[in-house]
Structure 1
Amino acid sequence: MSLPVPTWDTPFGIQLWPIFDSIISKLTNQYFIPSKFQFIIGKTPLSTFQPVALAITTYYIIIFGGNYIFKKFQIKPFILNGLFQIHNIILTTISLTLLILMIEQLIPMIYYNGLFYAICSTNAWTQPLVCLYYLNYLTKFIEFIDTVFLVVKQKKLTFLHTYHHGATALLCYTQLIGDTSISWVPISLNLGVHVIMYWYYFLAARGIRVWWKEWVTRFQIIQFILDLGFVYFATYQKLVFEFLNSYINKPLPFCGDCAGNLYSAYYGCAILSSYLVLFIGFYIDVYRRKSSKKSKIVKSVKGGVAAQVNEYVYVTGREATPILEEQEPKKQVRSRKA
């Protein structure tokens, strides 16, 4: 029996989209059929601004209100380590699944039509990709639970963490209603980072130390640099095509019009730019300032035996958390090498 051979049309050797379509249709009892999904403003859940704004507002009320209540009444922090592990492994699996399905759609599109077509053509706004964009959009609301864990475990809430979650949900919404074909660039890069990021959190919750934790933040920064390169390019094409060349004597060079509306482009440029600045600041604060407590792996000595403590840094703002506080008192911290 020969193994499936990858081709430009089937990058993984077999067509994964029909399999995904069949599985999800059966799991939802035909309520959600990926191959028949259509994003219709006003009909699709979370397709209008009001419910999106309500969901994001509720998120902030819960986390800041909950944080205030815990501190006001001096409620003992919850551990919830088992639930935290489940949460992270679920998000890792979802991210990997969506990423693989997007790669399957994008490789033949780029191979046959070119990169500019894939990021700017209205024909690149395909039904399977829109379905995957929407499913990724829904995960942004699931990721709100990240902050709930911080609140009940009484970890510090930073601006980067709380801002990042709310802004990303709104960013995904603006790109969906704006029909921006370039959406696959930031989404696919973000999914790739999330596969690594949530896997790291899962390992950290298990008490497993890894050498590559600093690369989680580095990948975030690299992601936003690539995002902005593509998004600024596409926004420039749109501006030149629609406005600039109409008001100047010597036309500016450009490749052609880019799909999507300008409001979505402006929001994408602003949010992704702010992410890059904030994550670079976070990286410097945590990993490059030697005086910062967050940049050190703490070692505690108890009963004459050194107990290694993991620097549990969440890339969007978690503080260093000793693994010994998260696990059973006698559980040893394991180390994983490359």
Structure 2
Amino acid sequence: NVILLYLQEMESKEQYRTHTQIKWETFLDLWSKSFIFCAVYAVLIFGGQYFMKERRKFDLRKLLVLWSLTLALFSMIGAVRTGWYMWHVLHTSGFKQSVCDQSFYSGPVSKFWAYAFVLSKAPELGDTIFIVLRKQKLIFLHWYHHITVLLYSWYSYKDMVAGGGWFMTMNYSVHAFMYSYYTLRAAGFHVPHPYAMLITLSQISQMVMGVVVNSLVYTWMEERQCPSYKENILWSSIMYFTYLVLFCLFFYEAYLKGKHRVKKD
């Protein structure tokens, strides 16, 4: 019996080492590819801007409608599926558990939408291609947001860190409204100006909540109740805080500064 228990223990350790090795190799492969995607993305958008400088802009309206509609529907379904799971955790286990929960990554439904969320950050880079080919203004917030979200999402997915359920659910929900707005605008429908303001305010609220969740994860991690890492919390906090500042500046430039000019005139 002693020998049998020893062999079982050794087998279990070997399986753990093998699983860890496979997981780490998968992570390295995914992590390295995220840098490749971002490098290609940067070359295409800035090289594309130079290429389009002396050329006529493309219309691409129909293609843009299809693109935005696809991402809108994807985000809507993702928001419903992840939102339902988050509501279940909140209702049955409370807010603290919803922040510290890891089962979001392994649940029968939520794990698919968690993985789909991470992968979706690559095709979402295509948003910028439309801006470049249609010769619209490409702001720093746009491409900085796309690159850092991709790098962070692919970096942290392997660790199944606390707070991920909130991050993904919020992002799905905001994107559902945002891409719906893009779809209507691309299709030529008039969308009331306050709707655009509400989308930006929802993005700002998302960043505020992101900073709050990171603070709570750090606090409860010190109490050994939230599984995470200081490095992950640091990068996530930097990301959310810079987003918060940039979105607030964008809100001021887009909606408040113009009003002041009109009143002055």
In the alignment, does 2:79 pair up with 1:99? yes
> Are 1:40 and 1:47, in contact at CA under 8 Å, matched by a contact in 2?
no
Question: How far apart are the structure 1 equivalents of 2:181 and 2:148?
Answer: 23
Query: Structure 2: which amino acid aligns with 1:58?
Result: V
- Matching residue within 243, 249, 253 for 1:275: 243
In the alignment, does 2:214 pair up with 1:231? yes
Structure 1 residues 161 and 292, CA, compared in 2 at 3 Å: closer, same or farther? farther
1:2-81 aligned within 5 A: 40-43=23-26, 48-71=30-53, 74-81=54-61
Segments of structure 2 that go 5 or more residues without pairing to the other structure are: 1-21
1:153-208 deviation line (CA, Å, top 9, x unaligned): 01121111110100111121232122113101121111111111111111111121
Higher helix share goes to which structure? 2
Question: How far apart are the structure 2 equivalents of 1:290 and 1:145?
Answer: 29
Structure 1 residues 225 and 83, CA, compared in 2 at 3 Å: closer, same or farther? same
1:113-262 aligned within 5 A: 113-123=93-103, 125-128=105-108, 129-211=110-192, 212-238=195-221, 240-241=222-223, 256-262=224-230
Question: How far apart are the structure 1 equivalents of 2:62 and 2:260?
Answer: 30
Structure 1 residues 290 and 165, CA, compared in 2 at 3 Å: closer, same or farther? same
Structure 1 residues 143 and 125, CA, compared in 2 at 3 Å: closer, same or farther? closer
Query: Structure 1: which amino acid aligns with 2:41?
Result: Y
Question: How far apart are the structure 1 equivalents of 2:104 and 2:156?
Answer: 14
After TM superposition, the runs of 4+ consecutive aligned structure 1 residues lying more than 6 A away are: none
Question: How far apart are the structure 2 equivalents of 1:96 and 1:206?
Answer: 19
Query: Structure 2: which amino acid aligns with 1:103?
Result: G
Structure 1 residue 122, shift from structure 2 partner: 4.3
- The residue aligned with 1:26 is none
Question: How far apart are the structure 2 equivalents of 1:168 and 1:43?
Answer: 19
1:36-75 deviation line (CA, Å, top 9, x unaligned): xxx944347x85321111111111111111111111xx11
Question: How far apart are the structure 2 equivalents of 1:138 and 1:121?
Answer: 21
Of the two structures, which has the highest relative contact order with CA contacts closer than 8 Å and spacing of 6 or more?
2
> Are 2:217 and 2:228, in contact at CA under 8 Å, matched by a contact in 1?
no
RMSD: 2.3
> Are 2:141 and 2:246, in contact at CA under 8 Å, matched by a contact in 1?
yes
**How many pairs does the alignment contain?**
239
Structure 1 residues 98 and 40, CA, compared in 2 at 3 Å: closer, same or farther? farther
- The residue aligned with 2:3 is none
Structure 1 residue 281, shift from structure 2 partner: 0.3
> Are 1:66 and 1:151, in contact at CA under 8 Å, matched by a contact in 2?
yes
Sequence identity percentage = 24
Question: How far apart are the structure 2 equivalents of 1:96 and 1:41?
Answer: 32
Question: How far apart are the structure 1 equivalents of 2:171 and 2:127?
Answer: 16
